[in-house]
Amino acid sequence: MSVLQEMSPNVKQMRQLEYAVLARQAIRIREELKQGVRKPYKEVIDVCWGDPHRAGIKPLSFVRQVLAACLYPQLVNSDKLPVDVRQRAQRLLQECCGGSVGAYTNTRGIPEIVHRVSEFITRRDGGAPSPPENIYISPGSQWALTNMLKILVNSKASTRTGVLTPVPCHSTTTLSLEGLGAVIVPYYLSERQGWELQVEELQQALDSAKGVCNPMALYVINPGNPSGHVQSRKSMQEVIRFVSEKRLFLLADEVYQECVYGENSEFVSYKRVLAEMGPPLSDTVELASFHSASKGYMGECGLRGGYVELVNLDPAVMKYIYTIFSMDTCAPVLGQMALDLMMNPPQPGDPSYPLYDVEKQPIRTALVHNVKTARAVLNSLPGFCCQPVEEVGMKPDTFYCSRLLEEAGVLVSPGCEYGQKEGTFHIRFCIMTPQDIMEELLKRLTSFHTQFMEDFS
């Protein structure tokens, strides 16, 4: 018997990703295009993940220049880079052990960067204190979330641990929960209300968990992923009162906080709302909030830099959290630096600011344009849904995505990957992409969908 056959039953029971089928298909199509196989398109447009660079957004020069100088310190003394870039790189290198990005850092991260994360949070949250000892820099926000779930989920308990989780929800989170042996307690976001989170749904989810599991935490994504909904202060206050009353730990995934584009929408962190509600809630509700350099204008997914801030946790528990994070030694140093650059970009008057501003503004313009254009085009398509086609052995939305990839060269994700109400089907694609790519994507999608409806209606 193979040793691998003795793996954890929780791992064995993890569902297989629908995306895996599409990924293999995309590899085959790209290889066929290289070999000169004629198709109605010349390249695959890949917008299946929230990965701006994969979707065509270019890296910000300031970020890459600073990181280049940190990797190759001879550039610090070169006049080929702006003076503020060289100064920033020099400071970051001085904060590294041995003056090198190749050295380990403290478990929480480079102390000076952790302090600057603290200052960033305090600025963002209107002055609410953010003690550095409550912050851990991690290899991305998902990594930090998984570590927190390890603390919360008791795999040895006779009654399994439950975590209230939104539907739709990113698959990496649900896979983490399944791998740890937790029970996913789904609560459905209201699609008709723009994917709004409703406390009534939280209560229904909690009621459904009776006799099934022991609910310990509520996981919220704000702004929503993949839904895009931005919670109001009132909604967040209701959630905070709910977790306080039900004695739940609040896990707030806030990595899309820069990507707020609605005319009447404003991102406010759960930490800020909790602080402004005052005692006793601000002193008692246990919260972990997550952010990352992966999303927003930087879009540096591959550098793996994120953080978690912990609020109102018992000091005894904090000792175990330190141990859990110590198992990873430290986050990648370049990821820590990218996080620092995201929180402290060039300011007006800095030599790098003009170029930084020139590069950043088109990203925001494209984001706003793409949202409006995609909404208009998709709403104009008749019967924008997938018809059940069970005979092909795929879920309907996976089948739709597979046909879209094969016939139009557009790679998107099926809604079943994230969860959805029975009888409804969705697709999800990244909108942070250059305008010309979005317009080409929508052109291909419109043409494909018209033919698809003729074939299967």
Strand 306-311 to 135-138 pairing: antiparallel
Whether residues 436 and 306 fall in one domain: no
Whether residues 103 and 212 fall in one domain: yes
Whether residues 269 and 399 fall in one domain: no
Alpha helices in 222-278 (DSSP H): 233-246, 270-277
Considering 343, 370, 400, which residue would you say is the last residue of a domain? 343
Rounded CA-CA distance 325/327 in Å is: 5
Give the model's pLDDT for residue 202. 97
> Containing domain of residue 425, as a range?
13-26+40-56+355-442+451-456
The residue with greater pLDDT, 264 or 182, is 182
Give the model's pLDDT for residue 389. 34
Whether residues 394 and 324 fall in one domain: no
* pTM score: 0.86
> Residue 166: which CATH number?
3.40.640.10
Checking if the pLDDT of 386 tops 50, the result is: no
In a domain, 8, yes or no: no
Whether residues 145 and 266 fall in one domain: yes
Give the model's pLDDT for residue 390. 38
Whether residues 185 and 239 fall in one domain: yes
pLDDT band at 392; cut points 50, 70, 90: very low
In a domain, 83, yes or no: no
Give the model's pLDDT for residue 137. 96
Burial per residue of 64-93, b for 16 or more beta-carbon CB atoms within 10 angstroms, e otherwise: ebbbebbbeeebbeeeebbebbbbbbbebb
Q: Average pLDDT, whole number, for the chain?
A: 89
The residue with greater pLDDT, 241 or 391, is 241
Q: For 309-336, what is each residue's pLDDT tens digit?
A: 999 999 999 999 999 999 988 999 999 9
Checking if the pLDDT of 156 tops 90, the result is: no
* Residue closest to 342 by CA, chosen among 78, 24, 52, 133: 52
Whether residues 173 and 302 fall in one domain: yes
Using N-to-C axis directions, what is the helix angle for 270-277 and 233-246, rounded to 10°? 70
Residue 114 token pair? 């952790």
In a domain, 132, yes or no: yes
Q: For 343-371, what is each residue's pLDDT tens digit?
A: 999 999 999 999 999 999 988 888 888 88
Give the model's pLDDT for residue 322. 94
Give the model's pLDDT for residue 2. 55
Whether residues 337 and 364 fall in one domain: no
In a domain, 81, yes or no: no
In a domain, 239, yes or no: yes
The helix or strand, by DSSP H or E, that contains position 289, with its residue range, turns out to be strand 287-292
Checking if the pLDDT of 79 tops 50, the result is: yes
Considering 343, 366, 397, which residue would you say is the last residue of a domain? 343
Whether residues 406 and 324 fall in one domain: no
Q: How many domains does the chain have?
A: 2
Phi, psi angles (nearest 5°) of residue 186: -75, 140
What is the mean pLDDT of the segment spanning 128-137?
96
